[in-house]
Amino acid sequence: MTGERRALIIANGEYDNPGLSALRSPAADAEALAEVLADRDISEFDVQVVRDETAHVIAGRVEDLFADSAPDDVLLVHFSCHGLKSESGELFFAARNTRPERLASTAVPADFVQRCMRMSRSRSIVLLLDCCYGGAFSQGVAVRATGEANVLDAFPAGGFGGRGRAVITASNSIEYAFEGDQLADDHVRPSVFTSALVEGLRTGDADRDEDGWVALGELYDYLFDSVRERNPNQTPSRDIEMQGELYLARSRRRRIKPSPVPADLRAASEDQNMFTRLGAVTELQRRLMSENLSVAIGAHEVLTTMAQTDIQHIAEAADLARREARVRTEPEVVRFGEVVRGSWPVARLRLEGPPIARACRFASSHSWLRVTEDGDGAEIVLDQAELGAFEARVTVTGPTGEVVVRVEGQVVQEPVPEPRPVHTPAPAPQPSRKPEPVLPARPKPDPFAVAAGLLAVTAAAYLVVIAFALSSSVEDFFEDGGWTVLPLVAFAIGAGIAMFLPKTRRMTGPGTLCGLALLAAIPSGPVLLVLADGCLIVAAVCALVAVRRDRSFRLGLGKPRDGLAVAAIVSALLGALGLVMEAVEIIGYSSSRADEGAIYLVVSVTLLIGTMLGVLVRPSAFGIAFLGGVAGGGIVMVCMLFYAMPSSSSVTGAGWGIALSMVLALAVVTGLAARKENG
């Protein structure tokens, strides 16, 4: 498939109208689904999240997604919100500003989404609706909305002109979509439907035929069984109109087909001479250790037959040989001990033995125990909110057997430090207050992200010290060109701070730092700047390492999507043209200054390449940040080149003026793109 894979996740849990109750699940739905869809090892979607926005913003993002698409693109839209119907029976998706008595103007009509799907050029569209529409519910379960609505009737089949589309809903027309597990549980977790969706894609359990791919039909079958198992009162529904099969994700659950053992070895295993059969056991054991899993499983099958049918002496030898390939884990029991409520402790489960014993898949017995395959093992993350002792199981299944790993521990409340005794009169009795809820601990920042931020700030501090140390007065500061480093100081500090803030250290900080280092590190000016340039380069490398270690998304390349991308490319192209003009003027002024002209050319080419990368790189949030760094680095370089420009009437500086105008325009375009990205 050559097209792009793009996903739009719409999560609305907060509502201005008091008639619409707040939902806990949408925020968790968006975070969990965005992480698995953006994972390069699973789905590799370019994911955009719209959270708690107004109806017109949501409608605009939906229309943009479907309008800016190519025939080979795969488009996925996920709604997690209240589902409402009008008096005439029309279906609407609730937004932050939705008023139940004014649905037509304050909510997103299902008919509008349907029209956008019909007008899209894409032949592969998947719409996932994790909304509730009405029906009875069980005692003690948090539900989302009231009133019956025929969901799939709002998205009738036909009329797509050969294009493919699929609609999968969390529940049918007479049921609720259940949110979490219990009404009294304040811990935020994905809904039943979305948690099953995320688990099926992340673990590969949705790959029913174990061919290494999760097809759309397989995904629905998995969702149906999983949701019904967790909650018999909820039944997912579907309406699929698609030619051929659509594969949404990769899976590590590839069935291993046994390779037949050689004919002479097969004959030896069945020979009447027991010593010949004993020699066959030794050869089969050697094949069992093979890196070729098909060869190993073929040998395992023959050894199993001999262990079950041969005489005792041969059977024991065959059983001992095949036991070398049994599924084994280290440790055999995972003990978390005491865990503070709100934290997310991680344990490592390692597989041991030959390759065939490590070709396993993992299944958790509880939704609050997340298991992620990782090389020759798995990572176990505990997300338990209930206080008290807990026990769960992780089932490890492979071609040669199965083992169950017990997981145990106890969740405790975060201890409150005892106040120091103070000799004061006893206070008057006060009415009791409810304890403040314990907020989840924020994940620790990646050490490489911290190192990148420190290096960027260090480069800025060094530049400030050098600039003012070499100038004896304010006049000297400007005359000696010390002012030219001020833009670099400002941009380096901004990028460094972004590497520390939780909301920007994942994509915005690394993108800005890499774009800034790309241009600002071009050798120009005094030798004293080399140390600052080196700090920026090392900081950018550390930022990229932090991005690589973050498994919630992977960098890739796409195609320009809107007018802002074109405007950015045009700005960079004109800026590069201005720098080339200035290089021609300087070389014409004096051939001895050809090296300065060469720097102009290097900056122009780097500016153009950096802008193209910023426009093409995905996720788009990283690309926009990278583009901002390129614009900042362009401003820095243009300022430095201006100071070095000879004062002569034959050097007009027109090209420099064009270059400065265009890098400033590039910065403005980047700001508009960032604003659009954030809704």
Helix/strand/coil (H, E, C) string of 581-593? HHHHHHHHHCHHH
CB-neighbour burial class of residue 486 (10 A; exposed 0-12, middle 13-18, buried 19+): middle
State how beta strands 91-93 and 164-169 pair: unpaired
Residue 427 is predicted with a pLDDT of 53
For the residues of 72-121, what is the DSSP string, one character each?
T-EEEEEEEEEEEE-TT--EEE--TT--GGGHHHHSEEHHHHHHHHHH--
Count of other CB atoms within 10 angstroms of residue 13 = 23
Distance CA 141, CA 535 (A): 55
Distance CA 76, CA 94 (A): 19
Two structure tokens written together for 552: 């919630």
Distance CA 117, CA 516 (A): 39
Buried b (16+ CB within 10 A) or exposed e, 638-675: bbbbbeebeeeeebebebbebbbebbbbbbebbeebbe
Prediction pTM value? 0.50
Residue 227 is predicted with a pLDDT of 86
Two structure tokens written together for 19: 């008639």
Distance CA 85, CA 94 (A): 10
Two structure tokens written together for 93: 């998706």
Distance CA 387, CA 66 (A): 46
Does residue 679 contact residue 647 with C-beta atoms inside 8 Å? Answer: no
Instruction: Tokens 């320009």: give the residue.
Output: 560
At residue 255's C-alpha, the angle toward residues 398 and 356, to 5°, is 40
Residue 18 backbone phi and psi in degrees, to 5:
-65, -15
Distance CA 324, CA 284 (A): 12
Residue 154 is predicted with a pLDDT of 61
Instruction: Tokens 């003027």: give the residue.
Output: 585
Instruction: Give the Å distances, CA to CA, from 627 to 506, 507, 600, 666.
Output: 16, 12, 20, 8
CB-neighbour burial class of residue 549 (10 A; exposed 0-12, middle 13-18, buried 19+): exposed
Q: How far is CA 221 from the centre of its chain?
A: 25
pLDDT along the chain (679 residues), means of 10: 82 86 80 86 87 93 91 91 81 89 90 90 90 41 43 60 74 53 40 86 82 87 87 82 82 75 90 90 91 89 91 91 89 88 82 87 82 80 82 88 90 65 52 46 69 87 73 58 73 87 81 83 63 83 82 66 83 89 79 75 88 83 86 83 65 81 89 75
Residue 57 is predicted with a pLDDT of 94
DSSP element (H, E) containing 338: strand 333-340
Instruction: Tokens 């899976």: give the residue.
Output: 251
Instruction: Tokens 């290089």: give the residue.
Output: 583
Buried b (16+ CB within 10 A) or exposed e, 504-538: bbbbbbbbbbbbbbbbbbbebbeeebeebbebbbb
Residues 6+ positions from 18 with CB-CB distance below 8 Å: none
Residue 648 is predicted with a pLDDT of 59
